[in-house]
Amino acid sequence: MRLLKLIFLTLKELFDFRHPYDVLFYYVHYIQYVYWVNASRYFYSNTKMAEVFDAAMCALKTHHKVNQLYDKRYPYFFHLKMIYEQALMFKHLLTEDEFILALKIIFLHDIIEDARLTYNDVKDLFGEDVAKGAFACTELRGQNRAERHGPEYYALLKLDKVWTFCKLCDIHGNVAFGKMTGSSMFAKYKKEYYSKVKPELFIPEFKDMFHSFENKLFA
């Protein structure tokens, strides 16, 4: 009994959860994601999509290793899978090869910023194109969100339409979750969209994505 208590206290300290239920909640979701990635990788074996789920598994394990959460309770992969689902809605905006690359970047887009991997780590694992995309999605240094999302950040993203696509899917996922949960971030996302995202990242090819923001999420 004392050993079980010690294990629980260790987990509680490690993950900074407030209640034993949160530990169970986390691992139930984590195991589901491990199964989903492995099943997807098996289903798409011998296709280009298999490489996408190699990137997904790397992201799942790496964000887990650094104990990163989404919304303070979900495995961070919850967010990555949501962005993947956003990307599927807009698949028609890219060529097949561009879309495969975009999905790899989407799963790895926060791995430099949040999970202690470097540009060269990502390059060694998944190639230069993926590393460049993950780097482009990495926030700038700054003391607040405005500084981290300065003009240079958007200028880099706009250099490649695949990078732009990935970031728009990321924003779309965050906004959709914020609206669904009634988060205070929703109003901030909306303000940022009209003041920065649309002015800096709009390109006619992606008008369907901007239409989705304005006529579904912000309507």
CATH code for the domain in which residue 67 is found: 1.10.3210.10
What percentage of the chain exceeds 70 in pLDDT?
93
CB neighbourhood size of 61 (10 A): 14
Count of the separate structural domains present in the chain:
1
Is residue 117 a part of any domain in this protein? yes
pTM: 0.90
Is residue 204 a part of any domain in this protein? yes
The pLDDT score that the predictor gives to residue 43 is 94
The pLDDT score that the predictor gives to residue 169 is 98
- Give the pLDDT mean for 93-110: 98
Is residue 11 a part of any domain in this protein? no
Is residue 13 a part of any domain in this protein? no
Residue 9 pLDDT exceeds 70: no
Q: By residue range, what is the domain housing residue 148? A: 21-217
Q: What is the largest CA-CA distance in the chain?
A: 63
Is residue 133 a part of any domain in this protein? yes
Is residue 6 a part of any domain in this protein? no
The pLDDT score that the predictor gives to residue 219 is 86
Q: Scan for tokens 């104990």, then name that residue.
A: 67
Q: Over the chain, what is the mean pLDDT? A: 93
Residue 14 pLDDT exceeds 60: no
Phi/psi at 55 (5° precision): -65, -40
The one-character DSSP state at 68 is -
The pLDDT score that the predictor gives to residue 12 is 60
Helices (H), 66-184: 77-89, 96-108, 111-114, 119-126, 128-136, 145-148, 151-157, 161-181
Residue 6 pLDDT exceeds 90: no
pLDDT digits (tens, 9 = 90+) for 55-87: 999 999 999 999 999 998 899 999 999 999 999
Residue 4 pLDDT exceeds 70: yes
- The residues, any chain, with a CB within 8 Å of residue 115's CB and separated by 6 or more, are 59, 62, 63, 65, 66, 68
Question: What phi-psi label fits residue 77: left (phi over 0), alpha (psi between -120 and 50 degrees) or beta?
Answer: alpha
